[in-house]
Amino acid sequence: MIIGLTGSIASGKSTVSEMLKNLGYPIIDADLVARLVVEPGSDTLGQIALAFGDEILREDGTMDRAKLGEIIFNDPASRKILNDIIHPAIRQEMLRQRQDFLAQGFKTIIMDIPLLFESRLQHLVDKILVVSVTEKNQFARLVERNNFTEKEARARISSQLPMSVKEDGADAVIYNNGTLNETESQLNRILANWQTSLEKE
């Protein structure tokens, strides 16, 4: 079973992903893959520099994430240009990792994909687990974690589909507004349910 873990920015995907990792599940992390495919000298980073100019490169040849983020989270047209370049490379690497885990004999694999719905990747997974938060908690956690201004946080939140749309498309939702223990209990309940339904199949 391939489980797609998603949600909005700062909803708690990495927090839940860490819990799943501790339970022994193999994790494919799209944010990590997104960093992997833009290593200095990569074809993808070359294309991004062509599209956005060498200003988005640091002196050591790495991508200036803050600068590129400032551009793409404030301009939908630029965001689309970046997505069109980087998403095929991310998808290819995620599928390669999935193949690797399957070859190693893992029966359940977690794909942590923040933009699962935005990129219409539902077909890649068997079950969709959405981590949801209230707007108030999301905003407060994002500002605190990234030290963002209100404007920076709002720009990032509005670059994604509303939380409610993601909840509607989910097979199960974790409401991550309470303690981490409460979040973990919800996770365990969902996993137990899915395990039972699989055994019946």
**Binding site membership for ATP: which residues?**
10-15
Piece in contact with ligand COD (CB under 6 A), picked from 67-75, 124-132, 137-145, 179-187: 67-75
116 binds ligand COD (CB under 6 A): no
| Binding positions | 10-15
Nearest to 115, CA basis, from 1, 4, 3: 4
> Is 26 or 69 the residue whose CB approaches ligand COD more closely?
69
166 binds ligand ATP (CB under 6 A): no
| DSSP 8-state symbol, 114 | T
Residues 159-198 contacting ligand COD, CB under 6 A:
159-160
133 binds ligand COD (CB under 6 A): no
Residues forming beta bridges with residue 162, ordered by sequence position: none
| Cα end-to-end span (Å), the chain | 12
Residues in binding contact with ligand ATP, number by CB under 6 A: 15
- Shortest distance, position 5 Cβ to ligand COD, whole Å: 11
Residue 156 contacts residue 32 (beta carbons within 8 Å): no
Nearest to 163, CA basis, from 41, 12, 3: 12
Q: What is the helix, strand, coil percentage profile of the chain, to 5? A: 60, 10, 30
Piece in contact with ligand COD (CB under 6 A), picked from 19-27, 76-84, 125-133, 187-195: 76-84
- Shortest distance, position 67 Cβ to ligand COD, whole Å: 8
Burial of 13 (0-12, 13-18, 19+ CB in 10 A): buried
183 binds ligand ATP (CB under 6 A): yes
Instruction: For residue 176, give the amino acid letter.
Output: N
Residue 9 contacts residue 138 (beta carbons within 8 Å): yes
The conformational region for residue 24 under phi > 0 = left, psi -120 to 50 = alpha, else beta, is: left
The binder of ligand COD chosen from 15, 69, 143, 171 (CB under 6 A)? 69
Instruction: Kindly list the residues in this chain that would bind ligand ATP in the complex (CB under 6 A).
Output: 7, 9-15, 31, 114, 141, 145, 176, 180, 183
Instruction: Kindly list the residues in this chain that would bind ligand COD in the complex (CB under 6 A).
Output: 9, 30-31, 34, 65, 68-69, 72, 79, 82-83, 86, 90, 113-115, 156, 159-160
